A and B are shown apart, each in its own frame.
Chain A
Amino acid sequence: MTRFSALSLLRAGLTGQKGWSRHWRDPEPRAQYDVIVIGGGGHGLATAYYLAKVHGVRSVAVLERGWIGGGNTGRNTTIVRSNYRQPQLQRLLEYSLTTWETLSDELNYNVMFSQRGALFLGHSDADMTHLAERGDSLRCAGIDAELLTRDQVARLVPLLDMSPNARFPVYGGLIQKRGGTARHDAVAWGFARAADALGVDIIQNCEVTGFAMTGGKVTGVKTNRGEVGADRVGICVAGSSGLVAGLAGLKLPIESHLLQAFVSEPVKPMLDTVVMSQSIHAYISQSDKGEMVVGGDPDHYPTYSQRGSPHRIEEVAAQAISLIPALSRLRMLRGWAGTTDMSFDGSPIIDTTPVDGLYLNGGWCYGGFKATPGSGRLYAHLLATGESHEIAAPFSLDRFARGATIDEAGAGPLPQAR
C-alpha cells in the first residue's frame, strides 16, 4: 500500500496518476478469527481498525453483505457535532469529535473533515431560552458553544430569510464552531485501508445468515461464503440490527424505520455553515461538490424498503426554502433513503448481549455518522476487553428495563417519537 504524502501525490500527478495500488486486499474468509465484526459500514470498519491499532487484536474479519460504506454510511447527510443535551451523549459525541479532529492524520487518508460550524436556529423566545440553556450545559461540560444574536446569524448566513414576516422568523442561534461535515465514503475507505494495513480482512459480498453456537456460546457465523469461526462476534449492522440479532434468538429495543435525504444540482459556494433548525427539524449544508444537501424528519413507520414517501420530499423542500429562499431556484438532483435502527430512547446501544460471545453496537437511529470514530474505539474496547469503556457504559442494553433511558428528545419510549 502506498503511503499518501504531498510528495507521493505530486509524483503520481507528474506520471499520469499511474501506479496507484489497491487500497485494501480482497481476501477469502479464513476458517477462524479472534473477532468477527458483522457489517462493513463506518462503525464496523472503525471498530476493526481500533481493535488492531489500539488493542493489538489483528486476527479480525469485517464481513459485509454488500460493499463497504453502501449502507447508511454512504447515505447520510454527514453532519458531525457534539452539542447534545444529555450528559451521557455529550461525553460520547465529544469523545468522537476529538477523534475526528485528528482522524485524517491518524489514517493517512483525507476524510475531508470540515469544521465549518454547526448552527442551530432559534425561531422564538422559547427557542432562544432552550438554546441558551443547552449552550450553558455544553460549556459546563467543556464543549464549545456560542449563543448568537439575530444580527450575528444574519452576518454568518446572509442567505437566510431574516424578514420579520418569514415563515420561520430567525431570533438568533447557537453554534458549535468545531462541528461540521466529513466526506462519508472517505471515512469508510480510510478506515478500511488503515485496518487492512494492520492485517484486518475486509470481506465484501459476505452476508451473515446465522450463528454457529456451541453450548449456548457463539463460536462463529454462517455466511453465503461458508462458516467462519471466531471467539467473539460483534454485530454492527445499523438498520439490520434486529434481523441479525434475531438470528441468535434476540429481540432488541429497536425498530427499523427510514430517513430520506436529498441533494440539489451543484452550484457555486453559497453556504459555508451547517444550518439546522430543531424546532422544524430541517438541516442544510453544501457539499464540497457544490450540491445543497437537505434533510428533515424520518418517515416514522417500520420499513426496510429504503424508499421514502413523497410527502416528505415536499415537506423538506418547503422547510429548506422557507429558511433560505434562494434554494427555490435549484433543481433537486437525487433523493434516497436509508434504513435506520431506531432505538426506544433515541440513543445507541454498545454492549454485550445475553448470548455469550455475541456483542451489539446499534440503535444509532439517524444520528450515528458523527459517532463513527468514537463508536469504533468504544466497541473495539468492549470486544477486546469484554468490559464496557466508562463512556459506553450508560449505553447498555438493559437500561430500558432498568428505567435508565437516555432520551435526548424527552419524547418517551416510541421509536417514531423522534
Chain B
Amino acid sequence: MMLIACPHCGPRAHVEFDYGRTLDAILPLDAAPEQAAAVLYARDNPRGVSQELWQHTHGCRAWLVLTRHTVSHEISAVVPWVAATAAPRESGA
C-alpha cells in the first residue's frame, strides 16, 4: 500500500487516489491524428522512475503529478498538476 502525500490534504492511503495516465500521455487539443495516436497509445512503460498523473478522487479531487518508481513504488515527489505544467508554459512565453 502506498502513502501519497497530497499537497492539499496531507498523506493519504493510495486507495483514495486513482491512477490516470503517464505524464507524457496528455493529448493536446490541436494534435494531428498521428500525434494523437502516439500520445494515446504508445507508452515507454518504464521499469524504474516514472512521472504519472493521479487524481485524489476520494479527497480534494485535484490532479497530481507523482514521481514514482514502478518496482519499489517509492514516491519521490507529489506536486499539483497545475504547478507541474506552469513552469514550461512560462518559459515558453
| A interface residues with partner B (beta carbon < 8 Å) | 241-243, 246, 251-256, 300-305, 309-311, 344, 400-401, 413-414, 416
Contact = CB atoms under 8 A, between A and B. Distances in A.
B50 interface: yes
A134 to B, nearest CB: 28
A300 B19 CA distance: 7
B72 to A, nearest CB: 7
Nearest to B33: A401
Interface string B34-54: 100110111111010010100
Contacts of B70: 256, 302-305
A344 B40 contact: yes
B23 to A, nearest CB: 12
Q: Report which residue of A246, A254, A303, A400 has the largest number of chain B beta carbons within 10 angstroms of its beta carbon.
A: A303
Contact of A302 (B40, B42, B50): B50
Contacts of B86: none
B41 A400 contact: yes
Contacts of A400: 37, 40-41
Q: Interface on chain B toward A: helix, strand, loop, or mixed SS?
A: mixed
Interface of B: 1-2, 13-15, 18-19, 21-22, 33-34, 37-38, 40-45, 47, 50, 52, 70-73
A302 B71 contact: no
A303 B73 contact: yes
A251 B42 contact: yes
Contact of B45 (A243, A301, A305, A401): A243
A301 B41 CA distance: 16
A309 B52 CA distance: 18
A242 B45 contact: yes
B1 A254 contact: no
Contacts of A251: 38, 42-45
A413 B34 CA distance: 16
Contacts of A254: 43, 45
Contacts of A303: 70-71, 73
12 contacts: A243-B47, A251-B44, A255-B43, A256-B70, A300-B19, A301-B19, A302-B50, A304-B47, A400-B37, A401-B33, A401-B41, A416-B19
A252 B42 contact: yes
Contacts of B50: 302
B19 A302 contact: yes
Nearest to A253: B41
Contacts of B45: 241-243, 246, 251-252, 254-256, 302
B70 to A, nearest CB: 5
Given A300-B18, A304-B71, A305-B70, A413 B43 contact: no
Nearest to B38: A251
Contacts of A401: 33-34, 37, 41
Given A302-B22, A304-B70, A309-B1, A246 B40 contact: no
A241 B34 CA distance: 22
A344 B22 CA distance: 13
Contacts of B37: 400-401
B72 A305 contact: yes
Contacts of B19: 300-302, 416
